[in-house]
Amino acid sequence: MQKKVVLFAVCVFALLIQAEVFAQADTVAVDTLRSRYVPTGIRIGFDAIGPIKSSIQDDFSGWEVQADVDFDRYFLAVEYGSWERNFASDLARYANDGRYWRAGIDVNFLRNDPDRNAFTLGARYGRSLFSETMDISREDPVWGTLSDRFSQSDVSSSWLELTAGLRVRIWKVLWMGYTGRFKFGLSTRGNTDMLPHDVPGYGITNKETTWGFNYYLMLRLPVRNAPPPPEKRK
């Protein structure tokens, strides 16, 4: 099943690249070294969902910051966050604590917008380093209440994501937007005496794929003026 999901993701990303090539077939690109390699702006922001979840949910605490570098239609994106979960029932208690990061590329399909608003499709590689513990209690008819503890540290997990997002300028350098994530291909390494239950940045591990959503508030720092939009061939 996982191989089918990975193959599907590769095919979708290949189609996006092919669509980009065809979209530029009838245009004349701005062919200067400056336009290709010097960014037009840098956005820095934070995810507003993390602090809200931390304040209203007793089993979660976390935050995430985000930055992207705007190379005209292409964005180099990096995200970094902290994640802590606590689950408890009558017979068990689970806790984890870790950090994670994601990096990837977005392509803007909202062209020639004067405010540089963006609708993007992209991909990410994610990685997490965390520790977790699980305490389990059980009743024995002879010995009474028995307890077991399972723990592991320095556990490393990685995964892939396909993303879709929107970035909108709301006032001068202030921006807002969201990113939806389709996560798959989870792989875990390290001292894995027990199967990880919840991976920071990824989520619950009982399914081969999962979804994520972030809502960002950002500041955009301009670096240079964007190149003029390409002219269509006559």
- Does 219 score more than 80 pLDDT? yes
pTM of the predicted model, to two decimals? Answer: 0.80
pLDDT of amino acid 22 = 41
pLDDT value at 13 more than 60: no
- Sorting pLDDT into bands at 50, 70 and 90, what band is 36? low
> What is the per-residue DSSP string for the chain?
-HHHHHHHHHHHHHHHHHHHHHHTTTB-----HHHHHS-SEEEEEEESHHHHHHHH-TTEEEEEEEEEEEETTEEEEEEEEEEEEEEE-SSEEEEEEEEEEEEEEEEE-STT-TT--EEEEEEEEEEEEEEEEEEEEEEETTTEEEEEEEEEEEEEEEEEEEEEEEEEEEETTEEEEEEEEEEEEEEEES--SS--SEETTTEE-SSSEEEEEEEEEEEEEE-SPPPPPPPBP-
pLDDT at 29 over 70: no
Q: What is the pLDDT of residue 132?
A: 93
Task: Give the tens place of pLDDT for each residue, 175-193.
Answer: 999 999 999 999 988 666 6
Question: Which of 17-26, 47-56, 141-150 shows the lowest per-residue confidence on average (mean pLDDT)?
Answer: 17-26
Asked if the model's pLDDT at residue 5 lies above 50, the reply is no
81 pLDDT above the threshold of 90: yes
Q: What is the pLDDT of residue 113?
A: 86
Domains located in the chain, CATH noted? 2-222 (2.40.160.20)
Which of 109-118, 131-140, 221-230 is predicted with the least confidence, judged by mean pLDDT? 221-230
